[in-house]
Structure 1
Amino acid sequence: MLGLGKMGANMARRLARGGAVVHAWNRSPDVALSLAQEHANVLARGSLAELVAGLATPRLVWLMLPAGRATDEALHTLLPLLSPGDTVLDGANAYYKDSQRRAAQLAQAGLHFMDAGVSGGIWGLQNGYALMVGGSARALAAAEPFIKILAPAPDTGWLHCGVAGSGHFVKMVHNGIEYGMMQALAEGLALMNGKREFDIDLAAVTEMWRHGSVVRSWLLDLAAEFLQRDQALDDIQPYVADSGEGRWTVLESVEQGTPAPVTSLALMMRFASQGQGDYANKLLAMMRSGFGGHAVKEGEA
């Protein structure tokens, strides 16, 4: 397991608890050493060369590194260390076209490649992960025993979606749907919060919706949980990050010519929360003042 961030570390823990022996590497070696102290089935490796040398062939190397350069650099180092027949699986968030390119690159060296979109967040360690995997049948045969440990159950919660790239494609669309669902819940709850004369208890509403409602979901469960603790959210900054998969989903809709207005608008709202619309709003204020003489609010942004 290469990359021991929140997801990678917990996946290594679940694998170790499930009986797998995990050779773990991280750019910060202390993280791998700490994980090895937790469980005897985790072996900390100080370098990629040491990790590869410690694995019996045919090897399975599972990447959980940031998309882009970090993954490409790791593959560049790994390629001369691996042997034909070994399998590399990228389980981090990655653009599916990069996965297609990497599969072709590794195939030239006689290596198998799989891509796995992984969902489950910080709860995956306890509940299992949903895994959307792409790659050849040969690559799947190498990875399947470990996929079954990571999944909620050996026969549920994972799917071989098709050829290399298909797993990350399905996960990309999954995250685009997630953007839209989150935005719809947030807008609806904000509308109820704004109707002050009704004094609606949002915690009570979301808890009630969890039972029998057509909008029940894990996202609703999470909303109900934090609203029980705090409905005002005064200490929360209105900033919502985007990890990249929403952007890729919107780009795909443009390339296909397939309309995805909800996902697109949800992504735009995340940009707005990051202050990316502030300059445009200032221009709007000045134009409105220019043609209508309307007052402009001045002060710190």
Structure 2
Amino acid sequence: MQLGVIGLGRMGRIVVDRVLEDGHEVVAFDLDSEAVAEAAEAGATPADSIEDLVDRLPDEKRIWLMVPAGDAVDATLDDLDPLLDADDVVVDGGNSHFERSVERAEALDAAYLDCGTSGGPAGAELGFSLMVGGPEWAYEAMVPVFDAVATGPQGHDHMGASGSGHYVKMVHNGVEYALMQAYGEGFELLSEGRYDLDMESIARTWNNGAVIRSWLLELCEEAFREEGNDLGDVDDHIAGGSTGTWTVQEALEQEVSVPLIYEALGERFDSRVEDGKFSRRLANRLRYGFGRHEVKRR
């Protein structure tokens, strides 16, 4: 398959590399010409504009967007729309709000797949988890590429109608907030409790057979190993929050109780006005672990 990739940041470049490694062809474009040149060195065909990228693809065009959610997606789709028809497929792999994804699917002549993407830059070697919404025929057409970008055939699935992929990813992120909060609170109690404990050792021991083992717990172990038992100068400011906010708003609309996600979101917001909480400092460092987000330091 020949795939066009628009957006060559950290995540977009992983898409390019994994698709190339699986034996497919890639045409790559980004507003940053240096990023395009680097993708070309890796084996992609460079394009100098969106129109050039579309011209280099076969009649049935398959295009993956990995641009920031919001205005950048709309601007890219505005440029693509007049160049595509109903036989073409566009995958939006960013963290767009599911309602905007529904609107985009209705407005675009091509088939639009909203693709929730989990795994982050740190998961590049293993592949991503992909949650895909949109027309089933378009999903089936993209399966060879999804197999390459995900951890394999078990790492992606068709969630349902347009918007469902980003909807599932939104809830995934809400769960992620709550899990980070739970680990943070547990390690805070251990840190402030009655024993002099080695946090890295605890995380490692828990992650070998314990009920609460997980990749996030592996990242806790990494954080204590690299930052020290007290997390050194890691600040307690936790960035992000949009997808958690969307999750809580949707829960309110559907009258579903999500107290753990709600409290985790509140802790995240409080971290920007209060100082000193160990649990928040660990959550700050965990965001680097899975997404290579900047670590705020004191």
Normalising by structure 1, report the TM-score. Answer: 0.87
Q: Does the 8 A contact of 2:190 with 2:197 survive in 1?
A: yes
Equivalent positions of 1:34-183 (< 5 A) are 34-37=38-41, 39-40=42-43, 42-106=44-108, 109=109, 111-153=110-152, 155-183=153-181
Q: Does the 8 A contact of 2:47 with 2:53 survive in 1?
A: yes
Q: Of residues 6, 11, 34 in structure 2, which corresponds to 1:2? A: 6
Q: Does the 8 A contact of 2:241 with 2:268 survive in 1?
A: no
Q: Unaligned regions of 5+ residues in structure 1, if any? A: 279-301
CA shift for structure 1 position 126: 0.6
Equivalent positions of 1:204-215 (< 5 A) are 204-215=201-212
Q: 1:35, 1:144 → 2: CA distance?
A: 23
CA shift for structure 1 position 7: 1.0
Cα deviation code 1:186-227 (max 9, x no counterpart): 1110111112x4101111111110112111110001111221
Q: Does the 8 A contact of 1:133 with 1:161 survive in 2?
A: yes
CA shift for structure 1 position 11: 1.4
Tell me the equivalent position of 1:221: 218
CA shift for structure 1 position 148: 0.8
SS of 2:90 mapped into structure 1 = strand
Deviation above 4 Å: which 4+ runs of structure 1? none
Q: Which has the higher contact order (CA 8 A, sep 6+)?
A: 2
Which structure has the greater CA radius of gyration? 1
CA shift for structure 1 position 243: 4.9
Cα deviation code 1:51-90 (max 9, x no counterpart): 1111111101111111111100111111112233111110
Equivalent residues, number = 270
SS of 1:156 mapped into structure 2 = helix
Q: 1:234, 1:226 → 2: CA distance?
A: 10
Q: 1:75, 1:177 → 2: CA distance?
A: 30
Alignment-mate amino acid for residue 87 of structure 1: V
Q: Percent identity?
A: 38
Q: Does the 8 A contact of 1:90 with 1:114 survive in 2?
A: yes
Tell me the equivalent position of 1:20: 24
Q: Does the 8 A contact of 1:62 with 1:90 survive in 2?
A: yes
Alignment-mate amino acid for residue 12 of structure 1: V
CA shift for structure 1 position 125: 2.1
SS of 1:118 mapped into structure 2 = strand
Q: Unaligned regions of 5+ residues in structure 2, if any? A: 276-298
SS of 2:117 mapped into structure 1 = strand
Q: CA RMSD in A?
A: 1.4
Tell me the equivalent position of 2:232: 234
Q: 2:142, 2:241 → 1: CA distance?
A: 26
Alignment-mate amino acid for residue 148 of structure 2: I
